[in-house]
């Protein structure tokens, strides 16, 4: 199966790394990026075929990944002959681009909308996708945890999982800062934050852990009440909802 990647920004490069890391051979992949110097550098580094023509990617690939800004679709369509799409599968990673728009930009192609996390780079991604042919579903499985959903489900996953990776990192970074503020060294903060969050995740029943640690009238309860009073749970929920509304 020949795989084409159009767009080698953060997510396009993650896709390329993930495909290679999952065992896809470099000679099965061709990539295009608008800025040719980026394309050449990335393709040389990973030993894959680079092109300055997005039409060539579409013509020579069975599965074509669009990983550019959504606004680029119109401009790209002008450089790709309509006949290049016949019998191909187009996978769009572009947040905010609806399937109807893709169907008219890529006539004759089977359209799949998928929303991945950048952690597909090391095959630990989360990928929500619309109905996909078997060969494409198998590709997603190689890149991490994948599941089929509706277009709206994919957008919700883009907010909760794809943006969520950034939100999770933000919260960890805030906890690291709390440690530094108390006088811990960077390496100590990193070790403690790692153990705390990993342990809470492994134990799983988060409300029970809070109840066990935050005994009535104690120090933890004081901290939890502070987080409740400043609205931490609401702020987290708002962050996810705002990301969803921007992409819906």
Ligand X SMILES: NC(=O)c1ccc[n+]([C@@H]2O[C@H](COP(=O)([O-])OP(=O)(O)OC[C@H]3O[C@@H](n4cnc5c(N)ncnc54)[C@H](OP(=O)(O)O)[C@@H]3O)[C@@H](O)[C@H]2O)c1
Residues near ligand X (CB under 6 A): 7-12, 33-35, 38, 67-70, 72, 75-76, 93-95, 115-116, 118, 158, 162
Distance CA 23, CA 178 (A): 41
* Nearest-angstrom CA–CA distance, 158 and 115: 5
- The answer to whether the CB of 64 falls within 8 A of the CB of 86 is no
Min. distance of Cβ 40 from ligand X in angstroms?
12
- Map residue 115 onto helix, strand or coil: strand
Q: Which is nearer to ligand X, 126 or 189 (CB)?
A: 126
Taking the least distance from each CB to ligand X, the nearer of 19 and 162 is 162
CB of 67 to ligand X, least distance (A): 5
Q: Which is nearer to ligand X, 99 or 232 (CB)?
A: 99
Provide the minimum distance between the beta carbon of 134 and ligand X in the complex, in angstroms, as a whole number.
23
Nearest residue (CB) to ligand X, 5 versus 189:
5
Output b/e per residue, 189-220; b: 16+ Cβ within 10 A.
Answer: beeebeeeeeeeeeeeeeeeeeeeebeeeeee
Which one, 151 or 184, has the nearer CB to ligand X? Answer: 151
User: Which lies closer to ligand X via its Cβ, residue 80 or residue 162?
Assistant: 162
3-state secondary structure 52-95: CCHHHHHHHCCEEEECCCHHHHHHHHHHCCHHHHCCCEEEECCC
User: What pairing do the DSSP bridges indicate for beta strands 125-129 and 110-116?
Assistant: antiparallel
Give the shortest CB-34-to-ligand X separation in angstroms.
3
Give the DSSP H/E element, type plus range, for residue 146: strand 144-148
Residue with the two structure tokens 């991490």: 144
Q: Using CB atoms, what's the residue nearest to ligand X?
A: 9
Least separation in angstroms between residue 128's CB and ligand X is 10
Nearer to ligand X, 119 or 189 (CB): 119
Rounded to a whole number of angstroms, the minimum distance from the CB of residue 135 to ligand X is 21
Instruction: Please give the order of strands across the beta sheet that includes 89-92.
Output: 49-51, 29-32, 3-6, 63-66, 89-92, 110-116, 125-129, 144-148
Q: In the complex, what is the shortest distance from the CB of residue 2 to ligand X, in angstroms, rounded to a whole number?
A: 20
């Amino acid at each position: 199966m020949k795989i084409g990647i159009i767009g080698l920004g953060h997510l396009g490069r993650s896709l390329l790394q993930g495909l290679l890391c999952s065992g896809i051979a470099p000679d099965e992949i061709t990539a295009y990026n608008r800025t040719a110097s980026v394309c050449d550098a990335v393709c040389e580094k990973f030993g894959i075929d680079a092109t300055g023509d997005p039409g060539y990617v579409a013509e020579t690939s069975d599965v074509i990944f669009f990983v550019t800004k959504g606004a680029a679709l119109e401009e790209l369509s002008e450089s790709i002959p309509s006949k290049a799409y016949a019998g191909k599968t187009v996978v769009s990673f572009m947040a905010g681009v609806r399937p109807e728009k893709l169907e008219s930009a890529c006539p004759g192609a089977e359209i799949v909308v998928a929303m991945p996390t950048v952690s597909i780079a090391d095959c630990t991604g989360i990928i929500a996708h619309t109905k996909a042919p078997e060969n494409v579903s198998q590709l997603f499985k190689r890149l991490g945890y994948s599941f089929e959903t509706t277009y709206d489900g994919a957008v919700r996953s883009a907010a909760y999982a794809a943006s969520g990776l950034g939100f999770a990192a933000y919260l960890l970074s805030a906890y690291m800062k709390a440690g530094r503020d108390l006088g811990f060294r960077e390496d100590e903060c990193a070790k403690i934050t790692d153990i705390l969050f990993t342990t809470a995740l492994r134990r799983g029943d988060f409300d029970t852990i809070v109840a066990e640690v935050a005994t009535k009238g104690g120090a933890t309860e004081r901290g939890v009440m502070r987080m409740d009073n400043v609205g931490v749970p609401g702020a987290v929920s708002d962050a996810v909802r705002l990301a969803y509304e921007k992409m819906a």
